[in-house]
Structures are given as structure tokens and as C-alpha cells.
């Protein structure tokens, strides 16, 4: 079986990492031949092709900014779209697997043209396909029918005009291509089913995968880091911890409340980029900062923590939560998006009403002081990931759906 994956990047960002993990699992368990096409290549993988050179990348990005300001994004992308078609033609795939395609990398016409070469599966890592332009819908309900105007047109990915036109172009694309839409979470699956854009498409829920061989608890991590076993440790991890969607603006208040309410020393570890650091502001908190870490070191940092905390305003099926659970670390988060499917209240973690920072601080401290509950959540966490997110389970589901789509397309 020959499959083309298309995503904006190969290993940078949640969607890219999820897509790469799916591809790797299919190769590992089913011998699928993968060609991975992307806008930006960050790895040295031989099967990954960056579809535009650096000079063309800068030129096309500039062109895309102009198209955004004119409100005609995705109507024509001069270089990368042509290269994608060329690569797909040469590879002769049995199926094409779309992932994140927003951001000025491929135009609507090319997406439609690719469906003429092979059936399409499209994994949704956010809500962009259902809206005029937004990747995260928040509390807005316009996506259910028509995004005729946008109260937040500067949100990613940026668009200025012709909102309903863009949404209708996506609807036309889905009507023409009729891809199988895959959602990692039940939450996003329900949004797709409620959307006027995707009513003609078949949908299925398949979780993001993880390798339990690579992501697991590492004994001795605390000793190596300089912590004692009795220390209480909370971990925050995100590509950009200052991101508003990830709740970066709520972090200072949460730290302040934890410092005021904790009884004794509390260690806080941050993994990811941050605009602001708070090293000298607290009496009882001990803050540890590290920027983005190599994949092979991710489990090490999860293994330091008693608890993984998320402040996300919205999330589909966050890889960080899956990674934490696979290392046996319970999750405390706001009850938003698909997070409650991972941080299951009373089983694998705690859920807080959005966006009650005071309640979040109290629950963090209650959990840290309840070793029995943490141990129970830890065992349940491993079981949840094994049943739902293990790469073998996910690869089998995708492979079976591929076969169905390919066989349905046979003359």
C-alpha cells in the first residue's frame, strides 16, 4: 500500500507530530510505503519531501500575506501546489491522507485535483475545515451554519474579508472530494456532525497514537535531575507556554495562588518556550525552566512529575496529555474540548470548570497531598492510553479504513 501524507510540517507542532506518528506506526506494523509532503521539513527523514526551496518559501509566504489581506487566501498558491501535484503523480499512491493544510501552503483547487488521483482521508487536528478561517472556534457558534462575519478575524489563520465565501469554498471542496474525516476526539467528532460544511462526509473517531515503548516512566529521573522522591513536582509542557490558547495569560495568577496556598516547597517544571520567567517572585515555589527538548528526552521530564497541569482554553486531543498519561502522570486541566476524554474525572485526573484559576490551584494542592489518589490515577492512566492511544491500536484502525476507501474506489 502506497500512501501520501500532506501536512504543513513533518515534526514541528502537534499536528505534524501526530501525523508522523501515524505514518511511522503504519510502516512498522503494516509495511505501508509513505511519502510525506510538507511545507517545512525539520527532520532528516528520507521519505519526507519539502515541496518548495528556501527562496520560493520566502517568496510564497510574502505572496500569501498579500492574499490574506485581500481576503482571497487558498484560491491560488503558485509554487508549492504545483510541486505537490508533481510528487503525487510520480508516487502513484493508493490513497492520499490530508492533515493540516491551512496557512498558505496548498490551494483549494489543488486539494480537489489530488482527489482525482486517489481516495482521500482527512484527519482534522483542529476546526479550520468547518469555519471561514478559524482553527479554534472557542465560544463562537457561527460555524454551525454560515460564518458571514468574524468577530476575531486576526485569529490564526488570519483572514480579513469574504468569510462566508471561504466557508462555502470548503463546503464545495468537501462535496466534490467526499473524504473520510477522522477526528482524534469525540468532542471534535460531534462538532463535525453539527457542521453544515461536512454533513455529506463519513466521519470516524481515531485517537492520536503514541509508542508505549518510547514514552514510559523512567526510574531514577529525579535523582538525575536533582530532586528527592518526597518532593512535590508539577509539570507544565507546551510548544509555547505563553500561547493564549494554551492559557499562558492565566499562568502568573495560578503560580501566585499556589505560592500563597501551598504548605511547604513545591517544584514547578516548565518544558517549552516562554516569553516571561518568574524566577524571583515566589517564596515556596521552586521554578525550573527548560526550552523545547529532544523527543528522546520527553519521557524524562514527565517522569519527574507527580502531576501534569494544563490551562488550555481549547484542545482537540493534546499530545502532551497523552504523553503524560503514558508515563503514569495524572492530568489536571480545564474541562474543555477533548481533554475530558483523557483527564477522566475521578479516574485519570481532575477537571476544573473553565476558567476558575482559584479552583485549579486548590485541586492541584489536594491532589499532591493525596498519594493514594495519585497512585490510582497513575494506574488508570496507563490503562487508558494502552486501550485507546497505543500506536498498534491506532495503526490497525487507520489501515482498515484505508482498505475500505481503496476497495470502494476500485472499478
241 in any annotated domain: yes
Mean pLDDT across 256-276: 92
Whether residue 34 sits in one domain with residue 17: yes
3-state secondary structure the chain: CEEEEEEEECCCCHHHHHHHHHHHHHHHHHCCEEEEEEEECCCCCCCEEECCCHHHHHHHHHHHHHHHHHCCCCCCCCCHHHHHHHHHHHHCCCEEEECCCCCCCCCHHHHHHHCCCCCEEEECCCCHHHCCCCCCCCCCCHHHCCCCCCCCCCCCCCCCCCHHHHHHHHHHHHHHHCCEEEECCHHHHHHHHHCCCCCCCCEEECCCCECCCCCCCCCCHHHHHCCCCCCCEEEEEEEECCCCCCCHHHHHHHHHHHHHHCCCCEEEEEEEECCCCCCCCCCCEEEEEECCCCHHHHHHHHCCCCEEECCCCCCCCCHHHHHHHHCCCCEEEECCCCHHHCCCECCCEEEECCCCHHHHHHHHHHHHCCHHHHHHHHHHHHHHHHHHCEHHHHHHHHHHHHHHHHHHCCC
* Residue 130, pLDDT score: 83
What's phi and psi for 386, nearest 5 deg? -60, -40
pLDDT of residue 210: 96
Provide the grid cell at 265: 516547597
62 plus 170 within the same structural domain: yes
Q: Which residues, at least 6 apart from 241, have a Cβ–Cβ distance to it below 8 Å?
A: 248, 251, 270, 272, 273, 274
Average pLDDT, the chain: 89
Which residues form the domain of 193?
2-209+390-408
Asked whether residue 152 falls in the same domain as residue 76, the answer is yes
pLDDT at position 326 is: 97
Q: Is residue 216 part of a domain?
A: no
Task: Encode pLDDT of 231-256 as tens digits.
Answer: 999 999 998 888 888 999 999 999 99
Do 183 and 293 share a structural domain?
A: no
The answer as to whether 60 is a domain residue is yes
Whether residue 164 is predicted with pLDDT greater than 70 in this model: the reply is no
Rg (CA), the chain: 22
Task: Find, among 359, 369, 349, 374, the residue nearest to 264 by Cα.
Answer: 369
Q: Check if the beta carbon of residue 74 is closer than 8 Å to that of residue 108.
A: yes
Specify which of 108-112, 144-148, 243-247, 358-362 reaches the highest per-range mean pLDDT.
358-362
Domain match, 199 and 252 both: no
Confidence check: pLDDT of 154 > 70? no
Is there a single domain that holds both residue 178 and residue 235?
no
Whether 404 shows a pLDDT value over 90: the answer reads: yes
Q: For residues 2-21, b (16+ Cβ closer than 10 Å) or e, as one string?
A: ebbbbbbbbbbbbbbbbbbb
Q: Is the pLDDT confidence value at 408 over 90?
A: no
The verdict on 58 and 174 lying in the same domain is yes
| pLDDT(18) > 90 | yes
Terminal-residue alpha carbon distance, the chain:
17
Residue 100 located in a structural domain: yes
Q: Are residues 121 and 141 in the same domain?
A: yes
The more confidently predicted of residues 359 and 166 is 359
Buried b (16+ CB within 10 A) or exposed e, 59-87: ebeebbeebbeebbbbeebebbbebbbeb
Instruction: Enter the pTM of the model.
Output: 0.91
Where does the pLDDT of residue 158 fall: very low under 50, low under 70, confident under 90, or very high at 90 and above?
A: low
Query: Does some domain include residue 215?
Result: no
Name the pLDDT band for 163 (thresholds 50, 70, 90): low
> How far is 396 from 403, CA to CA, in rounded Å?
11
pLDDT at site 380: 96
Structural domain includes residue 90: yes
Answer whether residue 159 is part of any domain: yes
Q: What percent of the chain has pLDDT over 90?
A: 64
Q: Are residues 193 and 91 in the same domain?
A: yes
Judge whether 214 lies within some domain: no
**Do residues 102 and 11 both lie within one domain?**
yes
Could you give the CA distance from residue 239 to residue 293 in angstroms, rounded to a whole number? Answer: 10
Task: Answer for the pair 42, 68: CB distance below 8 angstroms, yes or no.
Answer: no
**Are 236 and 262 within one domain?**
yes
Quickly tell me which residue has 511519502 as its cell.
Answer: 35
Contact 275, 251 (CB under 8 A): no
- Which residues are CB-contacts of 1 (< 8 A; sequence separation ≥ 6)? 30, 31, 32, 33, 94, 95, 399, 402, 406
Least confident among 19-28, 65-74, 217-226: 65-74
CATH number for the domain that contains residue 78 = 3.40.50.2000
Decide which of 295 and 229 is more confident: 229
Number of domains making up the chain: 2
9 and 111 part of one domain: yes
Amino acid at each position: 500500500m502506497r500512501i501520501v501524507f500532506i501536512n504543513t510540517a513533518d515534526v514541528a507542532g502537534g499536528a505534524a507530530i501526530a501525523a508522523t506518528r501515524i505514518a511511522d506506526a503504519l510502516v512498522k506494523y503494516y509495511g505501508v510505503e509513505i511519502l510525506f509532503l510538507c511545507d517545512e521539513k525539520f527532520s532528516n527523514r528520507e521519505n519526507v519531501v519539502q515541496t518548495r526551496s528556501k527562496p520560493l518559501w520566502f517568496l510564497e509566504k510574502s505572496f500569501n500575506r498579500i492574499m490574506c489581506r485581500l481576503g482571497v487566501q487558498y484560491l491560488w498558491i503558485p509554487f508549492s501546489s504545483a510541486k505537490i501535484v508533481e510528487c503525487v503523480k510520480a508516487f502513484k499512491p493508493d490513497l492520499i491522507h490530508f492533515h493540516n493544510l491551512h496557512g498558505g501552503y496548498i490551494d483549494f483547487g489543488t486539494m480537489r485535483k489530488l482527489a482525482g488521483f486517489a481516495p482521500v482521508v482527512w484527519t482534522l487536528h483542529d476546526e479550520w475545515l468547518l469555519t471561514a478561517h478559524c482553527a479554534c472556534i472557542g465560544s463562537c457558534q457561527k460555524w454551525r451554519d454560515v460564518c458571514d462575519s468574524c468577530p476575531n478575524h486576526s485569529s490564526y489563520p488570519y483572514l480579513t474579508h469574504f468569510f462566508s465565501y471561504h466557508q462555502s469554498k470548503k463546503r464545495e471542496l468537501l462535496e466534490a472530494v467526499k473524504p473520510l474525516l477522522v477526528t482524534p476526539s469525540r468532542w471534535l467528532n460531534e462538532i463535525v456532525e453539527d457542521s453544515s460544511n461536512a454533513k455529506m462526509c463519513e466521519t470516524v473517531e481515531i485517537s492520536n497514537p503514541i509508542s508505549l515503548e518510547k514514552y514510559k516512566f523512567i526510574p531514577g529521573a529525579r535523582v538525575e535531575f536533582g530532586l528527592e522522591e518526597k518532593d512535590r513536582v508539577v509539570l507544565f509542557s507546551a510548544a509555547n507556554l505563553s500561547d493564549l490558547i494554551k492559557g499562558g495569560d492565566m499562568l502568573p495568577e495560578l503560580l501566585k495562588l499556589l505560592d500563597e496556598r501551598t504548605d511547604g516547597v513545591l517544584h514547578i517544571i516548565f518544558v517549552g518556550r516562554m516569553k516571561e520567567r518568574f524566577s524571583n517572585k515566589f517564596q515556596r515555589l521552586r521554578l525550573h525552566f527548560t526550552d523545547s527538548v529532544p523527543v528522546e528526552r520527553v519521557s524524562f521530564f514527565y517522569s519527574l512529575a507527580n502531576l501534569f497541569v494544563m490551562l488550555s482554553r481549547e484542545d482537540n486531543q493534546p499530545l502532551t496529555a497523552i504523553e503524560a498519561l503514558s508515563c503514569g502522570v495524572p492530568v489536571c486541566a480545564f474541562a474543555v474540548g477533548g481533554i475530558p476524554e483523557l483527564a477522566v474525572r475521578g479516574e485519570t485526573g481532575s477537571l476544573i470548570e473553565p476558567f476558575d484559576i482559584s479552583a485549579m490551584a486548590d485541586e492541584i494542592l489536594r491532589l499532591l497531598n493525596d498519594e493514594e489518589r495519585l497512585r490510582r490515577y497513575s494506574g488508570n492512566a496507563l490503562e487508558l492510553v494502552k486501550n485507546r492511544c497505543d500506536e498498534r491500536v491506532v495503526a490497525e484502525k487507520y489501515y482498515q479504513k484505508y482498505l475500505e476507501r481503496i476497495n470502494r474506489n476500485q472499478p
